[in-house]
Chains A and B, each alone.
Chain A
Amino acid sequence: MTDETVSVPPSEGRKPDLPPPMSVSGPWAWMRENLFSSPLNIALTILSLLLLYLIIPPLVAWATTLATWVFPTEVIVGDRSPRSSDCPDGACWLFVRARIGQFLFGFYPEPERWRVILSFVLGAIGIYGLLGGPARFRKYAAIFFFVVFPIVSFWLLRGGLGLMSVPTEQWGGFMLTLVIALVGIVLSLPFGILLALGRRSNLPVVHLLCVIFIEFVRGVPLITVIFMANIMLPLFLPPDMQVNVLLRVLVGTTAFVSAYMAEVIRGGLQAIPKGQFEGAMALGLGYWGVMRLVILPQALRISIPSIVNTFIGFFKDTTLVSMVGLYDFLNMVKTGFKDANWVGVEITGFAFCAAVYWVCCFSMSRYSMHLERKLHTGHKR
C-alpha cells in the first residue's frame, strides 16, 4: 500500500522536495536562536556567562593548580606523618591520599582488602553480564549475579572457611556504602514488584497487608526505619539470637526502598491499558504468565526513570546509617576530620565525598537513559 503512494510520479503538480534552509542548523544558528534572540535574552546570557566566569575558574584552580597533590620530602622519607599544614592553599588532596584506604575499606584489615576488591570485581562482572553483555549469556549472568555472587561475596567479605574472619563491625567506608546500596537496590526490585502486584490484588488479605506495609514504611522517615529496625527487630526474635547491627540496618533500608519501589512499579502497572491484560488472558496465559510476559516488561520499562530516581535517592540516603554507629563512606571521611594532624580539611573531604557520590549517581542516570533508548520499540498505539 505504501509502495503505491511512493511511486506516484512527481509530475502531477507536486512540488519538488527542497533541502531545509541552511541557517536552521549549525552552532551559530543555534546560538542566535537560543542565546541572543531578544534584548532580555542577551542580558540573561551575558549575566549567566559572568556568573560562570566568577565561579568556575576559582573553583577549578582550588581543586587543581592551587591544590596540594604530593607529600613533602620529610613525609616521603618517613621522618614524620603528613598533616594539614602541608597544604598551604587550595584543596588538600594529601588528606584524601593519606586516608584513602580507610575511606574505601573502613577498618577492614589491610592484608585482607584484596577480598573486598575481588568481590566487587565479581559484582561488576555480574552487573555487566546482566545489563550490558551479550544476550545469550544473560541467563548465566543472572544465575551468577543473583545466586553465586551473593554467597561468594559474603564469604569473601565476612571470612571463615579458610579465610580470616572479618566481623561486620570492621566493615566501613565506601565498601559499606556499596554493600548497603547494592543489597537495597537488588532486593527492592523483586520485593517492590510483589508488593505492587499485591496491592492491586483482588484478594482482600493480600491487598490489605501490602497497603499497610507500603503506607507505613513510606510514611516514616528512613532514619526512623533504621532506628526501629535496629531497636525493634531484636524484640521480635528469640532473646538468645544475636542479630548483627548491619543485618538489622539492611532489613530496614531494604524494606524502605521496597515500599518506594512498589509505588513506582504500581504507577507503571496502572499505565498499561486494559487491552493488554485481555489480549494476554484471551491467549490462555494464567495470572503469572500475563504479568511476567506481557504486563511487567512494559510496566517496568515505562517506570525506568522513576526506578532509577528511587535508586539514586536511596544511594545517597545510605549515609543515614551513620546514625546507628555504622561507618559508611561519608561517616568515615568525617571521622578523618577529628584527627589532630588534619584540622581544617573539611572542605576538601566533603568535596571528595560529593565527587564520589556524584560519579555514582550520574552513572546510574546515564545508564537509565541508555536503557530507555535501547528498549524503545516504536510508537505506542
Chain B
Amino acid sequence: MTPPTHAKSARELEIGTDVMVELSGVNKWYGQFHVLKDIDLTVYRGERIVVCGPSGSGKSTMIRCINRLEEHQRGKIVVDGVELSHDLKHIEYVRREVGMVFQHFNLFPHLTVLENLTLAPIWVRKMPKKEADAAAMHYLERVRIPEQAHKYPGQLSGGQQQRVAIARSLCMNPKVMLFDEPTSALDPEMIKEVLEVMIELAQSGMTMLCVTHEMGFARTVANRVIFMDFGEIIEQNTPEEFFNNPKSDRTKLFLSQILHH
C-alpha cells in the first residue's frame, strides 16, 4: 500500500500539451430545463481534474456527455480528436477509449469478476481469451483483489465491487477515465481503499475527470478543481488556490458547507 505522503509526487506529474477532451460551448436541456450552459473545458493529457458543486448542478450530466451516455444539443465535444455526433462509429470509438466508473458500480451480476473484466476486451477489442484473462488478472492485482477473480459481484463488498469496476475500465486500456462520485455509495472504511486505487492510478499518469466531494483526494492528486453550479462552470483553479482563496461567493458558500459539516 502506498502511504499518502508518497502521493505528493502525483502533484509533480507531467501534463502533456495534447488535448484529450475538449468541450466548447456545450449546452444541454432536459425538456425545458437547461442543465448545461455554455460549458467550455479543455483537458490535456495527464491532467487530473476534480469536479465539484452542489447537488443538481449538472456535474454528472457534463461528465456523461463526454462518453455520450447523454446527448448534448448545442456546442462541440471532441475526445481524442474525434467529435461526438450522431455518427455511431465516432460514439463507439470514444466509448472504447474512455473508461467510466459509476456511483453504483454497474458490474454485471451474471458474470464472475474475471468475466466482467474480460467481456469488453474480448468482444470489443477482439482480444484472444488467454490474453484478456492475463490482462484482467494484472489489473485485479493492481486494485489488490486478485483472489476474488472467480466470485460473482454479488458476493463482494461495496469497496471491492468499485475496485473491480475500476479494473474493468482499465482492461480496455482507456486514454481517459471518468469517475462519477465513485465513493459516495460506500461506507467510510471502504472509501479509503477505493481512493487509494484512484490515487495510484493518478500517479501512473492517467488522464482523469472525477466528480467527487472527497476534498482530500482533490488536494492530493488534482491539478485542477472545477466548481459547477446551476449548469455553469463557476470557477476553476489549482487545489491550493481553490481551497484557500476561492474567488466567487458561491464557491465560498459551497466550500463552507462541505468543509464544516
Contacts and interface: CB of A to CB of B under 8 A. Distances in A.
A283 B168 contact: yes
B104 A293 contact: no
Contacts of B18: none
B106 interface: yes
Given A284-B92, A284-B172, A377-B154, A278 B69 contact: yes
B154 A283 contact: no
A1 B163 CA distance: 15
B92 A276 contact: no
A284 B169 CA distance: 10
Contacts of A380: 109, 154
A258 to B, nearest CB: 24
A276 B108 contact: yes
Interface centre among A283, A378, A381 (most CB of B within 10 A): A283
B119 A293 contact: yes
B155 A378 contact: yes
B110 interface: yes
A286 interface: yes
Nearest to B103: A275
B154 A297 contact: no
Contacts of A297: 110
A301 interface: yes
A380 B92 CA distance: 29
A289 to B, nearest CB: 6
Contacts of A282: 67, 69, 95, 98-100, 102, 106, 169
Contacts of A279: 102, 105-108, 165
A278 B178 CA distance: 13
B95 A284 contact: yes
A314 to B, nearest CB: 27
Q: Do most interface residues of chain A lie in helix, strand or loop, or is the interface mixed? A: helix
Contacts of B120: 283-285
A294 interface: yes
Interface string A269-313: 000000110111111111001000110011001000000000000
B124 interface: yes
B99 to A, nearest CB: 7
B152 interface: yes
B152 A283 contact: no
A136 interface: no
Nearest to A287: B88
B184 interface: no
Nearest to B121: A283
B108 A280 contact: yes
Given A283-B168, A284-B124, A381 B95 contact: no
Contact of A281 (B95, B151, B165, B189): B95
B102 A381 contact: no
Contact of A278 (B106, B154, B157): B106
B96 interface: yes
A370 interface: no
Contacts of B109: 298, 377-378, 380-381
A31 to B, nearest CB: 36
Interface string B135-169: 00000000000000001111101000000010011
Contacts of A1: 157, 189
B110 A301 contact: yes
B95 A283 contact: yes
19 contacts: A275-B106, A278-B106, A279-B105, A282-B106, A283-B96, A283-B124, A284-B92, A284-B96, A284-B120, A284-B124, A284-B172, A285-B120, A285-B123, A375-B110, A377-B110, A378-B152, A379-B155, A380-B109, A381-B154
Given A284-B92, A298-B109, 15 more contacts: A276-B108, A278-B69, A279-B107, A281-B69, A282-B67, A282-B99, A282-B100, A282-B169, A283-B172, A284-B95, A285-B124, A301-B110, A377-B152, A378-B109, A381-B153
Interface of B: 67, 69, 88, 92, 95-96, 98-100, 102, 104-110, 119-120, 123-124, 151-155, 157, 165, 168-169, 172, 189
